[in-house]
Structure 1
Amino acid sequence: MKINYLCKMIKKIGIILVMIFAGAFAWAQDTDTIYNLEVDYNAPVIYEVAALKVEGVKHLDKEVIKQLLRISVGDKLQVPGDDISLGIKRLYRQGLFSDIKLIADKVVGNQIYLTLEVEERPQLTTINFTGIKSSEEKKLIEKTALSKGGYFTANLKNRIKLIVQNYYKEKGFNNVGVTFEQTPDPDIPNAVGLKINIDKNKVVKVRDIIITGNDNLSDHKLIKAMKKTKEKNWRYFFRSKKFSEKEFKNDRVLLIEKYNEFGYRDAKIESYKIEEVEKNRINIHLDIDEGNRYYFNDIQWVGNTVYSSDFLTRVLKISKGDIYNKKLLDDRISNDDDAVSNLYFDNGYLFSRMIPKEIVKGKDSIDLEISVIEGQQATINKVIITGNDRTHEHVIRRELWVYPGDLFSKTKIIRSIRELANLGLFDPEQLQPDIQPDPENGTADIVIPVVEKPSDQIELSGGYGGGTVIASVGLKFSNFSIRNIFNKEAWQPLPTGDGQTLSLRIQSNGKYYSQYSFSFIEPWFGGKKPNSFSVGGYMSNQTRLSSSYAVSSVNPGEDQQFRVWGASIGLGRRLNWPDNYFTLSNSLSFQRYELENWGGFYQFTNGSSNLLSLSTTLARRSIDNPIYTRSGSDFSIGLQFTPPYSLFNDTDYSALDDGHQDKFRWVEFHKWTFKGKIYTPLSRDRKLVLYTGTEYGFLGYYDKDKRSPFEGYSVGGDGMSGYTAYGSDVIGVRGYENNSLTPIGEDGRRTTGNLYGKMTMELRYPLSLEQSATIYVLGFAEAGNSWYDFEDFQPFNMYRSAGVGVRIFLPMFGLLGIDWGYGFDDVPNQPGASGAQFHFILGQQF
């Protein structure tokens, strides 16, 4: 029986060998001979090629075909021979021909006249994909490098199919079907249109992830560690469940890294299995070997001369007995803002390196030996600015903290980028310094490429207050150049490039109210130090907004008017103590208020008031981006005060009624303000940001009988500036109607608050950070309130609200937004002031 089986096998092998030899013989017959010429394989003949023609060519170059054949006129050609077979094989390998024949036209003596007859494959004139989006088609054309004029070969077909399937596998489509259709082009001979039909089928999704062997870390913690591979679970409701082999491979690495963070240095995935449980649904099985848990033991530094080992260990912030954590070790050496390596980078040691070596001691201890290669200190050779088409170079350089000849400092480079971003003239997402080290000379060039963005704005804002809609139109030129104002060539359309800010604004409701204002800011007054200079002025005129503002003591038929005009001048400077993020600003301002039969709001209805005040503000601002801030803080404390006129005269203001001119001829007060904002990135990509803010204001007096009728606080609503003509600060608290949280006096009149508090928390996430538009969504919780007297102040008695919103920053128009807020607390005597409220934000940030 075994002999019969062996004989059958030998017979089959023999048949296969005969077929192989027959195929090889047929190929040899087809490629090493010449048509119309009888040959003797046992007696080859050598001919001289007298002529060589190429026929059948429609699109290709005949001379190129001859070069590929490698047979030329004058060559000695052996027939049959290798030169012929190799030449024809070379032509076939190009994939351009469906048939090739070498024909002998005639033989004269030892001379042979040849014709190479080829049949070209059809040329592609159109390429179309079906079953996919146009954006996907564009990407696939790039990946496959398909182009018109090419040739559709078997190799190309297989290549396209493989690329398409791999492309969609990464997106979770594991069962992609690819078919091809060729249609002759009626207008072009030997040309076809190619249609590639793609059937993506359904995405393959993960139903369950089954993990075994994990005794110390929970399934949830391990699945959470995987970035893209998620199972069908309520915890991952907002995460994609589609399966990608490429992402699963990356996620297996992340899973082990999570074990490393908890001390399991030897953890590994023993095995994994992908189980198809139904069509387009899989289960993933992972078997984990956790290994032992390790702890840091002794830490030694080798090669360090600049800093002592004890000091480096303190900066490392890892102690003997701490749980082993590979990620923490890498972060403390290289990645954190206060990492050990930054000590060297900030002291000029650009070429320094730190190489940790882990030495296992026993079953659960790791000794660290960190080799420090300090190298030489590097100095900055050149600081190169590129891309500034409009902004003058000195405006950029004065914001930098790095200079040629200085020791290299990573912190100063980061600070320079932060300052440039806060100018608002460049795209902050593209401010990426290019450090070009030169180890031979111990120097480095720093290239800072800037991408200028439109900084001038048309400001459109509006609000509803006092029974009318108030709209504003303004022009803000953020890169103005006043020194070129008389230079005709610089007007394109305005003189720009010096980083100055010029603002012009008109506010009106068209009939009853109008306001005109301007301001100018020079951030580097004198050009040598960051001392700012500002000047501004405004005037407004308001008649009776509505009959609701006419009170019984005032005849509604009489003219009613409220005029305000004022001007201010300010100086500010950057401080170096407590650190160089602090600034101190001072300003002197004067306002004059003129009332004519204006009742229902202030303590007096006729007369004028003058307000001369000095303001000083101490601020610390370290944010990284003024448009979409990811990190940093912004704190300020301010004091505005007038001279204490009541202390300089013997007037008894308690004896004067509110309408007496002397009582408010010169307004007096002291006004204290505190504001604090903190931005904390919550995600690895630093896009999800938590913003927390708090602010308080207090308007005090020198004489309780001479309280200021101006400079109080109007609280509640969208925070728009519709009330600025009344001389009060508008504080927005979303979820409540405008001005609804402002105190009401004993006489039932709406006044302004002399004290307010507000707290805000926002969770922000960007949808677009492009130069053309910054868009982000937010969810907020907010609380605020105001009080008339300090004795009434209750810091925990605030009106609460929550909601969602969206912000859109367009370079031309500034900030636009809409919020939906819900006020949770009823406002006494004001039904409907809380609850669901929409707020529109135009040209203003909360």
Structure 2
Amino acid sequence: MNFAKRLFALAIATVLCNMAMMHAQDKIVNPEISYAGNPRSVTIGGLAISGIEGYEDYMLLSISGLAEGQQITLPGNEITDAVKRYWRHGLFSEVSIAADSLVGDKVYLHIYLKARPRVSTINYIGLKKSEKEDMEQKLGLLKGSQITPNMIARAKTLAKKYFDEKGFNNAEISIRQRDDVAQKNMVILDVDVDKKSKMKVHSIILDGNEKLSDSKIKGGLFSKGALGKINEAGKFYSFFKSKKYTPERYKEAKQSLIDKYNELGYRDADITVDSVSQFDDKHVNVYLKIDEGQKYYIRDIKWVGNTVYNTDQLQSVLGMNRGDTYNQKLLHKRLSEDEDAVGNMYWNNGYLFYNLQPTEVDIKGDSIDLEMRIFEGQQAHINRVRINGNDRVYEKVIRRELRTKPGDLFSKESLQRTARELATMGHFDLESINPDVKPNYEDGTVDINWDLVSKSNDQVELSLGWGQTGVIGRVGLKLNNFSMANLFNKNKEHRGIMPIGDGEVMSLGAQTNGTYYQSYNINYSTGWFGGKRPVSLNVGAFFSKQTDVSSTYYNSSYYNNYYNYLYGYGNSGYYNNYENYYDPDKYIQLFGASLGWGKRLNWPDDYFQLSLSLAYTRYMLRNWNYFLITTGNCNNLNLSVALTRHSVDNQLFPRKGSEFELSLSITPPWSAFDGKDYEHLATNYKSATYQKEQQEKYRWIEYHKWKFKSKTYTALTGGQKCLVLMTRVEFGILGHFNKYKKSPFETYYMGGDGMSGYSTTYAEETIGLRGYENGSLTPNGATGYAYDRFAVELRYPFLLGNTTIYGLAFAEAGNAWSDTKDLNPFDMKRSAGAGVRIFLPMVGLMGIDWAYGFDKVYGTKGGSQFHFILGQEF
């Protein structure tokens, strides 16, 4: 029995040994796969991967498309396809797949990968800071990203396109890749740009143009040619014009030329041949061969499909008739672009789905028949109005300004007016206020989404200046989103700490130099008093005190030296310590309060507003030698009525619209019923009774003050960044009820920057006239009882948005007179100059102007002057 067991075990061991030997013989390590041999079918017994760190193996294996247990052929397409997949993925610089072993009909594969390097640093060479920032955004090269040949090629293409658009057509761009020795598998990219010179146009060669002369096509010194921005370098006519050549400009110029021919009736005009050839390294020549064709005229216009408006109405609005030149540009404007265009008649009356197609139905010789095919559709009512992006004010504050409310008929005009009202609020980015109109064709309604971008428009002012008595400090706070209700916890919507949300305005200000001058003011205003109707309310109060120096100062060596310095008799210093001469018994104090009310009118249109204001000012003087009254109290109680119209499209940089104001301020005619003989008052200021009678004379001052102001804004070019013409006309008259009791207050202080200064303008209205010293048109104690001012100004924006910057060039003229009967609009003091304005959200408007005054004032020429603007539009 034992022998049989041993014999059986020996047989089993022999079989197992033979099987192991057979298995060992079937396993082939690193087999060579010959593509010359016959393919054999195998099964993937296993997959291994190596060469990549930071990724899970299963993610990398999934790219191959291979899986354990999959039937493949060796050699075969499956392995080749897997390699291609890795290359297409773009993340690997090396890819290979090898067979580790072949065991029977099973193959064990190993995938070898090497990752492409990542970018550690990008150096931009030969570029300005702004150009580097543009390159970073446009090229798509990011630190930490893997770099591929396609990315390098694409970056070069984008860089070349960028510099072509800037006019650097010869720019050379190279992107070099070098290993970063400090970091494994990382590279440094050097983007090296040699911009060369900007490409300009040397010559424009025109062929075939007869109806349009070369000068009409190229333009003149002050006129734009039909080719727009393509102009010849080195020619007199293009002295003020851009001579830069870019492919984009060239494309626009060709279309502009065809548009000009179409505008003149040459409907078939075409550029049959055009070419751009290199003249030298900096210039190209442009050749244009033009086939002008014949000029066409309108023979007949028919209107089809119109039921809302009859043919006569539509034809009258169109304004183009039989026999007129076939002006396609004018036709398009009269149909859809102009404010009184045919399309706006429909769009402002609810016909949102209206469509008009002008169709040429017959052409005979030089005559064209037009058919105006109209689809009117149904009137659309507003369904939903959504307000998005607002986190500044309560939604009810915005909705009360809307002219587009649910249930209303759709109106393009109301849509535009709403955009203007939202911009006027000042709480949102002006350039982003655009309605998103979503028509619902199925039910004939329209949804309107107002996507707003909130901005803070509160202003804080901290400034230091220099005056006659030393350093002057000013602090101011203006809250443009104040809420009086929240101040007293009456608004249920309020959840914050600050009393904000209702769009009201609260301003506080203080100005002082510590000793000689102090001024304080507070104002509150709302445009919706009561919250239900556009009724404005304004309440304000102020106090100021200015103190003089003692008589010792005028006898001091400093004063004498300063006098000599001014008049050329000496060369002494300019500054002295006024504290040594402070005299608290010489001062003027002002206290005032006002209450104003305004109402939006519906006639002549709802841009008009009527305002009433009741104001009281008390002047308290003691030994003040700069006025008709040196000691005593004067009172000014006046009622002001103003009619205004404000229709500008943008508060910071208006492109169109106007501002208009006609106002009257009037006091009671005290002299008519006080029974005093002002004609025979004492006139000798040295007499004992003079000051007493003057005090009695001006205890209650009287006057009637008339003012007219207007500004207009006209865009001279298209687009957001456009050239704008601003015009200004102003007149002012300070009249009297009794010629022996003219008001010494509320006169006009004219000249300079127009900014109120405490030293001389405590009782006057300041009127600027650049190019002359402050107040120089009413100098030496003279008072201005009449003035006028005229100005034209060209403005161009450099930056628009929350921060707005624009430049300006101006010419202006004006004058002031001490007697209203001397007012002469032709007796002008003229000036011209240039400047810049900057609006910062937390600061407000700032600016600087340089102006040159051409005329003499009291023997002194205005000459070159710099003016600084802070917190107001000049």
Compute the TM-score of the two structures, normalised by the length of structure 1.
0.88
Residue 640 (structure 2) pairs with residue 640 (structure 1) = no
Question: Does the aligned pair in 2 maintain the 1:466–1:545 contact within 8 Å?
Answer: no
Q: For the structure 1 residues 550 and 698, does the alpha-carbon distance in structure 2 shift closer, same or farther, using more than 3 Å as the test?
A: farther
Q: 1:211 aligns with which of 191, 194, 206?
A: 206
Question: Does the aligned pair in 1 maintain the 2:550–2:582 contact within 8 Å?
Answer: no
- 1:547-626 alignment runs, 5 A limit: 559-602=585-628, 604-626=629-651
Which residue does the alignment assign to 1:741?
777
Q: Tell me whether 55-64 or 687-696 shows the greater mean CA deviation.
A: 55-64
- Looking at structure 2, the residues matched to 778 and 40 of structure 1 have their Cα atoms a distance apart, in angstroms, of 78
Q: For the structure 1 residues 515 and 175, does the alpha-carbon distance in structure 2 shift closer, same or farther, using more than 3 Å as the test?
A: closer
Residue 565 (structure 2) pairs with residue 540 (structure 1) = no
1:85 Cα deviation after fit: 4.0
Q: For the structure 1 residues 634 and 463, does the alpha-carbon distance in structure 2 shift closer, same or farther, using more than 3 Å as the test?
A: farther
Could you tell me which runs of 5 or more consecutive residues in structure 1 were left unpaired when the two chains were aligned: 1-33, 744-748
Q: 1:760 aligns with which of 768, 772, 791?
A: 791
1:843 Cα deviation after fit: 1.5
Question: Does the aligned pair in 2 maintain the 1:630–1:681 contact within 8 Å?
Answer: yes
Report the AA paired with residue 843 of structure 1. Answer: G
Instruction: Give the secondary structure class of the aligned counterpart of 1:273.
Output: strand
Q: For the structure 1 residues 624 and 365, does the alpha-carbon distance in structure 2 shift closer, same or farther, using more than 3 Å as the test?
A: same
Deviation per residue, 1:125-161 (Å, 9 max, x gap) = 4353543436545555555544566655555554444
Q: For the structure 1 residues 234 and 464, does the alpha-carbon distance in structure 2 shift closer, same or farther, using more than 3 Å as the test?
A: farther
Q: 1:730 aligns with which of 758, 766, 781?
A: 766
Q: 1:655 aligns with which of 680, 694, 697?
A: 680
1:193 Cα deviation after fit: 4.2
- Looking at structure 1, the residues matched to 841 and 428 of structure 2 have their Cα atoms a distance apart, in angstroms, of 11
Q: Tell me whether 460-469 or 529-538 shows the greater mean CA deviation.
A: 460-469
Residue 690 (structure 2) pairs with residue 689 (structure 1) = no
- 1:237-252 alignment runs, 5 A limit: 237-252=239-254
1:246 Cα deviation after fit: 3.3
Question: Does the aligned pair in 2 maintain the 1:97–1:120 contact within 8 Å?
Answer: yes
Question: Does the aligned pair in 1 maintain the 2:423–2:433 contact within 8 Å?
Answer: yes
Residue 869 (structure 2) pairs with residue 841 (structure 1) = yes
Residue 680 (structure 2) pairs with residue 679 (structure 1) = no
Instruction: Give the secondary structure class of the aligned counterpart of 2:815.
Output: strand
Question: Does the aligned pair in 2 maintain the 1:471–1:507 contact within 8 Å?
Answer: yes
Q: Tell me whether 577-586 or 680-689 shows the greater mean CA deviation.
A: 680-689
Deviation per residue, 1:462-513 (Å, 9 max, x gap) = 8888887766432222211111113499696731111211122223343322
1:731 Cα deviation after fit: 0.9
Question: Does the aligned pair in 1 maintain the 2:397–2:502 contact within 8 Å?
Answer: yes
Q: For the structure 1 residues 53 and 463, does the alpha-carbon distance in structure 2 shift closer, same or farther, using more than 3 Å as the test?
A: closer
Q: For the structure 1 residues 460 and 782, does the alpha-carbon distance in structure 2 shift closer, same or farther, using more than 3 Å as the test?
A: farther
Question: Does the aligned pair in 2 maintain the 1:463–1:470 contact within 8 Å?
Answer: yes
Report the AA paired with residue 276 of structure 2. Answer: I
Deviation per residue, 1:283-338 (Å, 9 max, x gap) = 11111111111222312111111011110111112222222222221111111222
- Looking at structure 2, the residues matched to 176 and 571 of structure 1 have their Cα atoms a distance apart, in angstroms, of 64
Q: For the structure 1 residues 87 and 590, does the alpha-carbon distance in structure 2 shift closer, same or farther, using more than 3 Å as the test?
A: closer
1:199 Cα deviation after fit: 3.8
Q: For the structure 1 residues 547 and 620, does the alpha-carbon distance in structure 2 shift closer, same or farther, using more than 3 Å as the test?
A: farther
Which residue does the alignment assign to 1:708?
743
- Looking at structure 2, the residues matched to 149 and 600 of structure 1 have their Cα atoms a distance apart, in angstroms, of 73
Residue 482 (structure 2) pairs with residue 447 (structure 1) = no
Residue 517 (structure 2) pairs with residue 523 (structure 1) = no
Which residue does the alignment assign to 1:13?
none
- Looking at structure 1, the residues matched to 611 and 754 of structure 2 have their Cα atoms a distance apart, in angstroms, of 24
- 1:339-350 alignment runs, 5 A limit: 339-350=341-352
Q: For the structure 1 residues 563 and 211, does the alpha-carbon distance in structure 2 shift closer, same or farther, using more than 3 Å as the test?
A: same
Report the AA paired with residue 838 of structure 1. Answer: F
- Looking at structure 2, the residues matched to 92 and 560 of structure 1 have their Cα atoms a distance apart, in angstroms, of 91
Instruction: Give the secondary structure class of the aligned counterpart of 2:163.
Output: helix
Which residue does the alignment assign to 2:106?
112
Residue 752 (structure 2) pairs with residue 717 (structure 1) = yes
Deviation per residue, 1:566-591 (Å, 9 max, x gap) = 21111110111111111111111122
- Looking at structure 1, the residues matched to 419 and 749 of structure 2 have their Cα atoms a distance apart, in angstroms, of 38
- Looking at structure 1, the residues matched to 211 and 181 of structure 2 have their Cα atoms a distance apart, in angstroms, of 70
Report the AA paired with residue 820 of structure 1. Answer: W
Instruction: Give the secondary structure class of the aligned counterpart of 2:45.
Output: strand
Question: Does the aligned pair in 1 maintain the 2:547–2:584 contact within 8 Å?
Answer: no
- 1:102-501 alignment runs, 5 A limit: 102-109=97-104, 111-120=105-114, 122-126=116-120, 128-133=122-127, 136=131, 139-140=134-135, 143-147=138-142, 152-186=147-181, 192-223=187-218, 224-232=225-233, 233-459=235-461, 472-487=474-489, 494-501=498-505
Q: 1:77 aligns with which of 72, 86, 108?
A: 72
Question: Does the aligned pair in 2 maintain the 1:35–1:101 contact within 8 Å?
Answer: no
Which residue does the alignment assign to 1:769?
800
Report the AA paired with residue 263 of structure 1. Answer: G
Q: For the structure 1 residues 235 and 454, does the alpha-carbon distance in structure 2 shift closer, same or farther, using more than 3 Å as the test?
A: farther
- Looking at structure 1, the residues matched to 149 and 761 of structure 2 have their Cα atoms a distance apart, in angstroms, of 78
- Looking at structure 2, the residues matched to 567 and 824 of structure 1 have their Cα atoms a distance apart, in angstroms, of 41
Deviation per residue, 1:651-697 (Å, 9 max, x gap) = 22112236313322221111111111111111112521111111111
Question: Does the aligned pair in 1 maintain the 2:274–2:286 contact within 8 Å?
Answer: yes
Deviation per residue, 1:146-202 (Å, 9 max, x gap) = 456665555555444434333333333334444454434446655544444444444
- Looking at structure 1, the residues matched to 437 and 482 of structure 2 have their Cα atoms a distance apart, in angstroms, of 31
- Looking at structure 1, the residues matched to 479 and 43 of structure 2 have their Cα atoms a distance apart, in angstroms, of 83
Report the AA paired with residue 169 of structure 1. Answer: D
Q: For the structure 1 residues 191 and 690, does the alpha-carbon distance in structure 2 shift closer, same or farther, using more than 3 Å as the test?
A: closer
Question: Does the aligned pair in 2 maintain the 1:65–1:91 contact within 8 Å?
Answer: no
Q: For the structure 1 residues 720 and 492, does the alpha-carbon distance in structure 2 shift closer, same or farther, using more than 3 Å as the test?
A: farther
Which residue does the alignment assign to 1:22?
none
- Looking at structure 2, the residues matched to 456 and 152 of structure 1 have their Cα atoms a distance apart, in angstroms, of 47
Q: 1:664 aligns with which of 698, 704, 720?
A: 698
Question: Does the aligned pair in 1 maintain the 2:526–2:537 contact within 8 Å?
Answer: yes
Question: Does the aligned pair in 1 maintain the 2:750–2:816 contact within 8 Å?
Answer: yes
- Looking at structure 2, the residues matched to 46 and 655 of structure 1 have their Cα atoms a distance apart, in angstroms, of 132
Deviation per residue, 1:341-370 (Å, 9 max, x gap) = 111111111111111112452232222211
Q: Tell me whether 634-643 or 659-668 shows the greater mean CA deviation.
A: 659-668
Q: For the structure 1 residues 544 and 362, does the alpha-carbon distance in structure 2 shift closer, same or farther, using more than 3 Å as the test?
A: same
Instruction: Give the secondary structure class of the aligned counterpart of 1:825.
Output: strand
- Looking at structure 1, the residues matched to 821 and 33 of structure 2 have their Cα atoms a distance apart, in angstroms, of 121
Report the AA paired with residue 596 of structure 2. Answer: G
Q: For the structure 1 residues 90 and 122, does the alpha-carbon distance in structure 2 shift closer, same or farther, using more than 3 Å as the test?
A: closer
- Looking at structure 2, the residues matched to 731 and 461 of structure 1 have their Cα atoms a distance apart, in angstroms, of 22
- Looking at structure 1, the residues matched to 184 and 587 of structure 2 have their Cα atoms a distance apart, in angstroms, of 86
Report the AA paired with residue 836 of structure 1. Answer: S
Q: For the structure 1 residues 128 and 741, does the alpha-carbon distance in structure 2 shift closer, same or farther, using more than 3 Å as the test?
A: same
Deviation per residue, 1:71-125 (Å, 9 max, x gap) = 433333333444344444444544555665554444444x132333535364234
Instruction: Give the secondary structure class of the aligned counterpart of 2:520.
Output: strand
Q: For the structure 1 residues 544 and 105, does the alpha-carbon distance in structure 2 shift closer, same or farther, using more than 3 Å as the test?
A: closer
Question: Does the aligned pair in 2 maintain the 1:433–1:449 contact within 8 Å?
Answer: yes
Could you tell me which runs of 5 or more consecutive residues in structure 2 were left unpaired when the two chains were aligned: 1-28, 219-224, 556-580, 684-690
Report the AA paired with residue 634 of structure 1. Answer: E
Question: Does the aligned pair in 2 maintain the 1:385–1:447 contact within 8 Å?
Answer: yes
Report the AA paired with residue 592 of structure 1. Answer: R
- Looking at structure 2, the residues matched to 670 and 656 of structure 1 have their Cα atoms a distance apart, in angstroms, of 23
Deviation per residue, 1:521-554 (Å, 9 max, x gap) = 1211121111111111222222226869999xxx
Question: Does the aligned pair in 1 maintain the 2:837–2:845 contact within 8 Å?
Answer: yes
